[in-house]
Structure 1
Amino acid sequence: MYSHASELGIYFNDTRFIGVWEMTFNGAAPVSLAKELRFSGNTAVFSMTNPDLPRLGESGRIRRDTFLIRRILTLQQDTFYETVEVKNFDDREHTLQVEQWVGSRFDDVFEVRGFPRPRRGKMLAAEESSKDGGLTTILQYEGLDAQIRRTFIHRLFPAEKIRVSPSLTGHFTRISIPSKSTVALKTIVSFDKPSEGKLMGRPYAQISVPEKMEILARDYLVNPLLGLSIITDNALVNKSIENARRDIFTLLTREESGVLYPYAGIPWFSAPFGRDGLITAFQLLPWNSSLAQGVLQYVFETLGTKFDAFTDEQPGKAFHEMRRGEMSRTREVPFIPYYGSVDSTPLALILLHEYIRWTMDLGQLRKWWPFALRALDWIDTSADTNGDGFVGYAMQSTSGLVNQGWKDSGDSVMHRDGRLAEVPIRLCEAQGYAFRARMGMSALARLLGDDVLASRLRLDALKLRARFQEQFWNAEERFVHLALDGKSRPCAVRTSNMGHCLWAQILTGEQARDVAEHLLSDAMFSGFGIRTLADTETAYNPLSYHNGSVWPHDNSIIMEGLRLYGFQKELEKLALGTYAVLESSDDFRLPELFCGFRRRGSEPPVPYQVACKPQAWAAGSIFLMLKSMLGVSMETDQNYLVFNSPLLTDKISTMEIKGLQCRDWEADLILRRGRSGTTVEVTRKTGPLRVLTVKR
């Protein structure tokens, strides 16, 4: 792996600690045969063989396909473990010279992404030491933040130096492999501090490959998402559910405060993001509530406390992005954390209400209530950028985001003629989120016995809805404007954003019907999903990031909105589009996004070139889609698990759910699709649970 000219590498705390990782055998690179990700995605197994190789110290060649070479790479607890196994299938012994090259420039992730940097820190001299028959090399870099970053390469085998420079080291060892035998070489790489040489408490030098796999399999069972089982009679759907569960687990990271937070996506967004984490946690309810608890704790802990133009921080505002690399620490970029998100704050309040609905965790509610009131105050004050009662944004930071909704590309908010909107911008979905947040906070205030606050919040929400319908609703063409610009002129373009207004329930029933028709029209529905921008708009580009592409998380939110208004046919059509994406995928995963070209026959969707995979809210989309199809909900004032017009498409005839846990109950259920609709059967339950199926 040579990555100085690409984004490849091993990253830690937003820094590329390894940019070169290469191994050769008698001077030649091995030939790839197969690769596989295992467990939670933290282990990669590469199976390879040899090309024709020269013999060492004698004439002749070693025939190709003589060796099976397996490289087993694992990332575990901030440490990188590699075992290289070489098995000799020949009838004679062979000697190989194995070279290992490792290098790093300690690039900040924003350098890798192309951010200009007039100067950077300095590479320090590499250091080497021998111990217990192995060789340790330390690559090190002193950043402009005065922090020294180190990569410790600990080889558990004797090695001799080829080259040692500050940014690149090469070493070799010679191994003799008897006929039909296997030799293993092990390396441990740690970041910023030396490794203790152990994997899950056991000396790595003493662990065989089967033992390593057994240890990692046991650790995988700790996955907090494994307590629930969702199995259908469709193998593809089952594989997709399992992969989504695995991807979310891969992205879960325990923060310094101890909470688990889903990082947004690999490779570019492997960091805490407010909006992404909040939506992912919402998508996982009711299937898993611990994720929502961790996300809410982290978001409330990091609420803004002051006005800081550089980071767009304001009191009570939820963060957008947290980075820990050199460029953030030196304030070359504002992500320390950065607060340029107009919707993270209301989304936090929406998640809080949904979390309490499913868990009735009143202890946490009381603990978080002061933070929730601070967030609510931000919506009522600082977020009202135009003094018109709408939630808006205008970038204060000189190096932040121009657009601060989920479509945060610089060109994602425009007028019908393609002109970009002027700030401050009031997005339609942000008003929907603010409406739903106030309604949810009203319900929570009543739950806590504050009827005065509850009544005020409900009235404020209804007033917002009335203003919204006056200024955001296009009465002539029957759709929701994307936004109001700085002069309160409507951005009269059809976008998927209005689907989020369904989810927020800020629309009347008649308006919701019109919006659903637009969303599922040929102009917006590609056959695989709803485009971010209708193909009839001037700015439409199916290859773009936000102006005509299709985002699975966007579609999952719209599916939930369709369910809330009872649009079963539209929900089914959109769900079948998602199934088609999974059926065409080579790994049964939903990507961050894909291009918005129209579906043609059996052709798969055109991939977006640099889409993240795995990506948290893309993986979460499957779980929110299932929730929407089942129509499952609970209210705070009842212990009924309600299935409202559950829907299983022709792709699924049965769905078995085991280990669904909420509040003080647990249940197993089976759903079956029949001629008269979908039935729900409770096969096991503990606690005071009642299940109610409602059919329209």
Structure 2
Amino acid sequence: MPMEAAAAKRDALADQAIVESPFYIPMTGPASRPRRALKHDDTFAVLDSHGDIGASAGGPDGLFNHDTRYLARLELSLNDVQPLLLGSNLRDDNSTLTVDLTNPDVYRDGRIVLQKDMLHIVRTFFLWRGAIYQRIGVQNHGGERASFDLTLSFDNDFADLFEVRGEQRKHRGIATSRLIDPTHVALEYTGLDNKPLRTLLHFDPRPTRLAANTATYHFDLAAQETTSLFVAASCNVPLDHKPVPFLKGLLAHRREMRNFSKGATTIETSNDIFNEVLCQAMGDLNILMTNTPQGRYPYAGIPWYSTTFGRDGLITALQMLWIDPRVAKGVLSRLAAFQAKQVDPLADAEPGKILHEMRGGEMAALREVPFAQYYGSVDSTPLFVLLAGLYVERTGDDETLRELWPAIEAALSWIDGPGDPDQDGFVEYQRATEQGLQNQGWKDSYDAIFHADGKLAEGNIALSEVQGYVYAAKNLAARMALRLEMAERAEQLEAEARTLADRFDAAFWCEEIGTYALALDGAKLPCVVRSSNAGQLLFTGIVGEDRARMVAADLMRPHFFTGWGIRTIARGEARYNPMSYHDGSIWPHDNALIALGLARYGLKHSVEAVFKGLFDTATYMDLRRLPELFCGFQREKRRGPTLYPVACAPQAWASATPFTLLEAALGIEFDVARNEIRFRDPRLPSFLQHVILRDVRLGESSVDICLRKHNDDVSLEVLRSRGQIRVSIVLTH
């Protein structure tokens, strides 16, 4: 780059003050203990590796329900000192956290009265129906009697989740704690919204001493003797509430989880590590699934996004469509139920718009944050139509289509009306108030949309990938209209899609960088920036064959592809930063959608490279779990990927990514009319020799399939079939 151009970029960036975006998630220091998360429906808990809450700095600890913290401290001590950690493990299905501890040397009057490693302390946790349950088992492995105290210290602040994230509040409600009886303590709060909240702690057996913030048990254990105690903390229950016994609740919880996963396709491969990745991914998706009045919904992620998010739910359901289309039905039904009906600037709501985010905390109720029901995303609405079309084609569920059609038409009306304020044919966004999100695509950080010189885009912004979503949505809506015998409406939608494709290519293609612009700003000037947004266009099909190959080739060059995955922004662009949230990091779900696009154009060798990069990433990650994002540094020999410090884990669309990558590699297609499952140009990556898919469902039929790698070819074997179903391989490239 010429020195003058480089200097101009630096000056442009320097002229812009550092802005702390509203609802920014700060990172002030490292977590001193690793964190573990549990979730059941609208309740989740973040505990540290010792099983404590609030005992160590750097983590968003707590028991949370509907965006409010119900327990800010739950710390175990032994004779007023911390036990020593032996190990901490989540069960494979994420139903329980088990922590093994032991005692340090315990002194009294300068001499050891309890030698280290004599006591084995096992803490077991699970969440169920708005409560966290804990069993503390203790065994004396010493040869002599052991006398000691175990103390649980507890407290709460009833902080709104946005306070936990870093938002400052000038005024809060009133919190109290009181002893109810010898086995119960109530922590209570009345917020500024006059809503009373309560955490009820129940101890079994009765503690030796119980106060408003501590429970102490004195034990005198003979050699090899064992004992147990149980604690339950319940959210918003009556004072006379009695939690279910620990074992009964645990068994019911696990039975529920098994029932939820019944009916989904299961996968087994030749690679044991990849099997672990898939197992963890499905376990994470299962706990993120939440029962709602409209059906099961994948909440976006723990801890910051454990709620209904439109974009995240839609993309996660799309990624899971081939293994469990029931998820898509729940997502579509819930979002249709909350589709905007009127204009509300604070909520960025307009008739027909699909929800971005829903929050249930005090700050949302008081509108201190605009997210009680917030519609500030430009892509949720076309993605809703897109997913509805894909769901119907995957399942043939015309009954659900008829139920959804009014919502689909309302969404299309928003796309052509308020979603295109200047009526230039492109869907655009600009926040309605200063309280809303500045950027409203999936890259929603304040600095994510910019020009080649680094200057932030202003005005009504048209994102490139959103136009692709609209194109795919209108084509799919046309096919849905035909299913409903609305031929004229179908023709209209097809024509609109063709017109959009032509206008899009003319406005967004940037010959100087050989790819599509990141966006158009309010003056219709293209943001001439190499971005992964262009890769998502391949998934939508709006790109012609020649352009698609140019875009794909660019994405696989080192300025984008790191060896671990494809960066959000190419190295060398003005705001490129591999440690940023959206300007050079790697997002697994972004790569998954790009992989589907590469497969669409028959570029399976590129699919394989992306697949292998993200598989290799997962092998380095804690629990083999792909995080929300990670840093976009170039891969080096004998070094793993670099973590992003405040990434959510688990995150729904990251957890669904391994399944999407497998779908892209195998080219899985479903033809309901012919009752046929097709594998288009299947290609397995080098680390997989075979893949077994069990209970792949199509209508009332299902099939078990084995696909084997033979160099670059793949063979197919039907292991078992139920009902009338056909399976085939289609070779086109």
Aligned partner of 2:229 in structure 1 is 185
List aligned pairs for 1:29-40, cutoff 5 A. 29-40=82-93
- Unaligned 5+ segments in structure 2 are 1-52
The answer on whether the counterparts of 2:518 and 2:533 sit within 8 Å (CA) in structure 1 is yes
How much has 1:159 moved relative to structure 2? 2.4
The one-letter code sitting in structure 2 at the alignment partner of 1:64 is: K
Tell me the SS of whatever aligns to 2:502. Answer: helix
Q: Is it true that 1:159 corresponds to 2:196 in the alignment?
A: no
* 308-317 or 683-692: bigger deviation: 683-692
Q: Distance in 2 between matches of 1:418 and 1:337?
A: 33
The one-letter code sitting in structure 2 at the alignment partner of 1:218 is: R
Deviations along 1:213-259, one digit per CA (max 9) or x if unpaired, are 6555434322326742210110011111110000000111112x151
The one-letter code sitting in structure 2 at the alignment partner of 1:686 is: R
The answer on whether the counterparts of 2:382 and 2:469 sit within 8 Å (CA) in structure 1 is yes
The answer on whether the counterparts of 2:55 and 2:75 sit within 8 Å (CA) in structure 1 is no
Deviations along 1:632-678, one digit per CA (max 9) or x if unpaired, are 11245432211100111111011111111121210110001114600
The one-letter code sitting in structure 2 at the alignment partner of 1:541 is: N
* 280-289 or 574-583: bigger deviation: 574-583
Tell me the SS of whatever aligns to 2:90. Answer: strand
How much has 1:80 moved relative to structure 2? 0.7
Aligned partner of 1:429 in structure 2 is 465
The one-letter code sitting in structure 2 at the alignment partner of 1:136 is: H
Aligned partner of 2:558 in structure 1 is 522
Q: Is it true that 1:609 corresponds to 2:642 in the alignment?
A: no
Aligned partner of 1:122 in structure 2 is 174
The answer on whether the counterparts of 2:187 and 2:200 sit within 8 Å (CA) in structure 1 is yes
Aligned partner of 1:599 in structure 2 is 635
Tell me the SS of whatever aligns to 1:310. Answer: helix
| Residues 1:441 and 1:3: Cα distance change in structure 2 (over 3 Å) | farther
List aligned pairs for 1:296-335, cutoff 5 A. 296-335=332-371
Aligned partner of 2:453 in structure 1 is 417
Q: Distance in 2 between matches of 1:114 and 1:365?
A: 42
List aligned pairs for 1:276-675, cutoff 5 A. 276-635=312-671, 637-675=673-711
Q: Distance in 1 between matches of 2:465 and 2:532?
A: 10
Tell me the SS of whatever aligns to 1:490. Answer: coil
Q: Distance in 1 between matches of 2:460 and 2:642?
A: 35
2:257 is aligned, of 185, 204, 220, to 220
Aligned partner of 1:97 in structure 2 is 149
> TM-score normalised to the size of structure 2?
0.90
Deviations along 1:465-499, one digit per CA (max 9) or x if unpaired, are 11101100113432000000000000000000011
Q: Is it true that 1:150 corresponds to 2:201 in the alignment?
A: no
How much has 1:95 moved relative to structure 2? 2.1
Equivalenced residue count is 678
| Residues 1:10 and 1:439: Cα distance change in structure 2 (over 3 Å) | same
The answer on whether the counterparts of 1:286 and 1:662 sit within 8 Å (CA) in structure 2 is no
How much has 1:92 moved relative to structure 2? 2.2
How much has 1:89 moved relative to structure 2? 0.8
The one-letter code sitting in structure 2 at the alignment partner of 1:42 is: S
Q: Is it true that 1:86 corresponds to 2:134 in the alignment?
A: no
Deviations along 1:118-153, one digit per CA (max 9) or x if unpaired, are 2111113x22222xxx51000011111110111100
Q: Is it true that 1:247 corresponds to 2:284 in the alignment?
A: yes
Aligned partner of 2:297 in structure 1 is 261
Q: Distance in 2 between matches of 1:423 and 1:254?
A: 39
Q: Distance in 1 between matches of 2:383 and 2:480?
A: 15
Aligned-residue CA RMSD (Å): 1.7
How much has 1:25 moved relative to structure 2? 1.4
Q: Distance in 2 between matches of 1:247 and 1:226?
A: 17
Q: Distance in 1 between matches of 2:249 and 2:466?
A: 48
Q: Distance in 2 between matches of 1:42 and 1:425?
A: 43
Deviations along 1:485-542, one digit per CA (max 9) or x if unpaired, are 0000000000000111000000100000000011111111111000000001011000
- Unaligned 5+ segments in structure 1 are none
Tell me the SS of whatever aligns to 1:617. Answer: helix
Q: Is it true that 1:53 corresponds to 2:106 in the alignment?
A: yes
Q: Distance in 1 between matches of 2:294 and 2:494?
A: 35
* 406-415 or 18-27: bigger deviation: 18-27
Deviations along 1:252-311, one digit per CA (max 9) or x if unpaired, are 1112x1511111011111111100000000000110011111001111111000000000
Q: Distance in 1 between matches of 2:678 and 2:589?
A: 24
The answer on whether the counterparts of 2:257 and 2:286 sit within 8 Å (CA) in structure 1 is no
The one-letter code sitting in structure 2 at the alignment partner of 1:224 is: S
Aligned partner of 1:237 in structure 2 is 274
How much has 1:162 moved relative to structure 2? 6.5
* 543-552 or 669-678: bigger deviation: 669-678
The answer on whether the counterparts of 2:312 and 2:653 sit within 8 Å (CA) in structure 1 is yes
2:718 is aligned, of 682, 690, 694, to 682
Q: Distance in 1 between matches of 2:203 and 2:294?
A: 32
Aligned partner of 1:175 in structure 2 is 219
The one-letter code sitting in structure 1 at the alignment partner of 2:215 is: H
How much has 1:607 moved relative to structure 2? 0.3
* 660-669 or 503-512: bigger deviation: 660-669
The one-letter code sitting in structure 1 at the alignment partner of 2:130 is: D
Q: Distance in 2 between matches of 1:171 and 1:606?
A: 41
